[in-house]
């Protein structure tokens, strides 16, 4: 069962990333994130643990029960990069939302090959958990990590509408 709300009739999309499916193959990565959360000697790094340890049953239950804030966004990928060196296995997608705002979304995957479907310009929908960080704020100034739970890509690009300035009708072309 997928948790990403995608209207398949309006925009046919394929789910290409599910954090729940990724984590079992990368248990050392999960342990590293949990150790950082529990490490009181590093109060300025990692997740707060307010909603449970990353990837734990408590963490997933808090998502399912609506206790962890979620963000659903759709837009185009503007870039993908590996996060800071001390955050191995974390990739950051830059997504330009439909309203024009730019969002950095974390995809926790030890292998970037699962993110190969995300090309610059690709239309995507993402469901993110907004997990609270320890102090200080994230790169974008927020105190939450946008952790991708599911990502979907559009099956076919949307047609681009071109307005003609002469008396002829508008035309559609595929990008």
Summarised one tens digit per residue, pLDDT across range 106-130 is 776 545 555 666 678 888 888 999 9
pLDDT of 14: 80
- Give the mean pLDDT of 135-156: 76
Q: What are phi and psi of 112, to 5 degrees?
A: -70, -15
The model's pLDDT over 7-27, given as tens digits with 9 standing for 90+, comes to: 444 667 888 788 898 888 888
pTM attached to this predicted model: 0.72
Burial of 130 (0-12, 13-18, 19+ CB in 10 A): middle
Of 121, 120, 117, 90, the closest CA to residue 105 belongs to 90
pLDDT at 165 over 50: no
pLDDT of residue 89: 57
Tell me the domains of the chain and their CATH numbers: 13-174 (2.40.50.140)
CA distance to 1, 94, 102, 117, 125, per residue, from 14 (Å): 13, 19, 22, 10, 10
pLDDT at 70 over 90: yes
Of 92 and 78, the one with more pLDDT: 78
Q: What residues pair up with 80 in beta bridges, in sequence order?
A: 93
| pLDDT at position 168 over 90 | no
Mean pLDDT of 85-113: 73
């Amino acid at each position: 069962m997928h948790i990403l709300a995608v209207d398949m009739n309006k925009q046919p999309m394929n789910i290409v990333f599910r954090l729940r499916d990724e984590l079992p193959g990368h248990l050392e990565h999960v342990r590293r994130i949990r150790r950082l959360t529990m490490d009181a000697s590093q109060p300025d790094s990692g997740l707060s643990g307010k909603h449970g340890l990353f990837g734990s049953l408590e963490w997933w239950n808090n998502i399912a029960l609506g206790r962890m804030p979620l963000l659903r966004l759709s837009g185009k990928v503007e870039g993908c990069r590996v996060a800071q060196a001390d955050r191995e296995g974390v990739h950051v997608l830059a997504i330009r939302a439909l309203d024009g705002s730019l969002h950095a979304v974390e995809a926790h995957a030890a292998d970037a090959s699962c993110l190969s479907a995300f090309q610059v310009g690709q239309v995507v929908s993402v469901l993110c958990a907004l997990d609270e960080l320890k102090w200080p704020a994230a790169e974008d100034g927020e105190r939450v990590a946008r952790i991708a739970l599911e990502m979907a890509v559009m099956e076919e690009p949307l047609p681009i509408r071109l307005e003609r300035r002469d008396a002829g009708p508008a035309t559609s072309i595929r990008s």
